[in-house]
């Protein structure tokens, strides 16, 4: 009986719902105690879904819209030098680690982790189920190098790489602005990057996955949105909702010229919704829809 209870206890504490302290224990091993003479404070901050607001006031919602599990915050200090703060987030899956990385992506890769960028003292990257943010409070040549070195160490300690969400592979490559790719699940993610409507006309939620990307630049700039639903019925329902709210004057057509002279086109195919917004011409809107079909069909072969 005693052995049986121990087995049950082990199963309970192994579940994703374990406390923030338990979730942070694994992440502590990923972050060194010292880098280039910067030494870590004795205590780390460890946060879970309930306490993340205590650490990221006003920004926790972004992480909670994904499958965020835990955050470890470690501060490094060196006399006469700016502090360095390393935050490592367990996002529950590689897909959501990739998603939170893309949420604010702007720059090109600095070859750390699976995708990365460095801007004005801030290094961001993802690898496996982890998203990592390392910031120097003031950028100097020495603190920048320490940030980069710290990132490389953390990345090397994350042994397993992850796979990008399959839906991202449906994005046609021609004219794609790679740093504009955004992967998310819920309406809040779409609203942050591209506003469609006050209501959740696409029925986005925890069970959906979506990718948004920009094509072209300047006057030719337009956007592609692909949403995957749990099944065909939910995709069809969302498409009907979208047409009623966003394209009420389209009639039987799935292509419509908007008041600003741009074009919107949309379709529902199997469990996917595909929409093109602000296309410069009808031909470009239709061509991008077709390019998505081709990419999806190639992946299904």
pLDDT tens digits in sequence order for the chain, 301 residues long: 333 333 333 333 333 444 555 455 589 999 999 999 999 998 999 999 999 999 998 899 999 999 999 999 999 999 999 999 999 999 999 999 999 999 999 988 999 999 999 999 999 999 999 999 999 999 999 999 999 999 999 999 999 999 999 999 999 999 999 999 999 999 999 999 999 999 999 999 999 999 999 999 999 999 999 999 999 999 999 999 999 999 998 888 999 999 999 999 999 999 999 999 999 999 999 999 999 999 888 877 7
Last residue of a domain, one of 137, 157, 177: 157
Per-residue model confidence (pLDDT) at position 21: 52
What integer pLDDT is reported at residue 8 of this predicted model?
Answer: 31
Q: Which residues contact 124 (CB under 8 A, 6 or more apart)?
A: 101, 104, 105, 116, 117, 118, 131, 132, 133, 134
Q: Which of 157, 183, 198 is the last residue of a domain?
A: 157
Q: Quickly tell me which residue has 């819920």 as its tokens.
A: 186
Q: Measured in whole angstroms, how far is the alpha carbon of residue 269 from the centre of its chain? A: 24
Residues 26 and 129 in one domain: yes
Domain co-membership, 123 together with 190: no
Q: Mark whether 110 and 213 lie in a shared domain.
A: no
Q: Are residues 28 and 72 in the same domain?
A: yes
CATH number at residue 80: 3.40.1000
Q: Which of 132, 92, 94 is nearest to 112 (CA)?
A: 132
Residue 199, in any domain of the structure = yes
Residue 197 belongs to domain spanning: 166-300
* 69 & 148 share domain: yes
Domain count, the chain: 2
Of the residues 110, 127, 157, which one is the last residue of a structural domain? 157
């Amino acid at each position: 009986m005693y052995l049986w209870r121990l087995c049950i206890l082990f199963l309970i504490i192994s579940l994703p719902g374990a406390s923030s302290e338990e979730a942070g224990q694994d992440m502590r091993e990923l972050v060194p105690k010292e880098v280039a003479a910067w030494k870590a404070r004795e205590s780390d901050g460890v946060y879970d879904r309930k306490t993340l607001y205590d650490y990221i006031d006003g920004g926790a919602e972004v992480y909670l819209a994904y499958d965020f599990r835990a955050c470890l915050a470690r501060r490094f200090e060196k006399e006469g030098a700016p502090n360095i703060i390393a935050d490592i987030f367990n996002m529950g899956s590689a897909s959501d680690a990739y998603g939170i990385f893309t949420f604010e992506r702007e720059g090109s890769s600095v070859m750390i982790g699976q995708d990365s960028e460095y801007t004005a003292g801030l290094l961001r990257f993802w690898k496996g189920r982890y998203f990592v943010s390392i910031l120097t409070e003031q950028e100097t040549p020495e603190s920048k190098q320490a940030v980069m070195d710290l990132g490389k160490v953390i990345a090397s300690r994350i042994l397993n790489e992850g796979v990008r969400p399959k839906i991202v592979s449906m994005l046609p490559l021609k004219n794609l602005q790679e740093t504009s790719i955004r992967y998310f699940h819920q309406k809040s993610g779409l609203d942050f990057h591209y506003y469609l409507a006050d209501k959740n006309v696409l029925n986005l939620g925890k069970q959906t996955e979506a990718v948004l990307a920009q094509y072209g630049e300047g006057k030719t700039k337009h956007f592609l949105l692909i949403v995957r639903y749990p099944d065909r019925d939910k995709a069809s329902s969302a498409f009907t909702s979208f047409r009623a709210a966003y394209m009420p004057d389209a009639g039987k057509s799935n292509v419509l010229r908007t008041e600003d002279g741009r074009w919107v086109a949309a379709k529902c195919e199997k469990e996917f919704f595909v929409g093109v917004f602000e296309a410069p011409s009808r031909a470009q809107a239709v061509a991008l829809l077709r390019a998505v079909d081709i990419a999806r069909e190639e992946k299904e072969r």
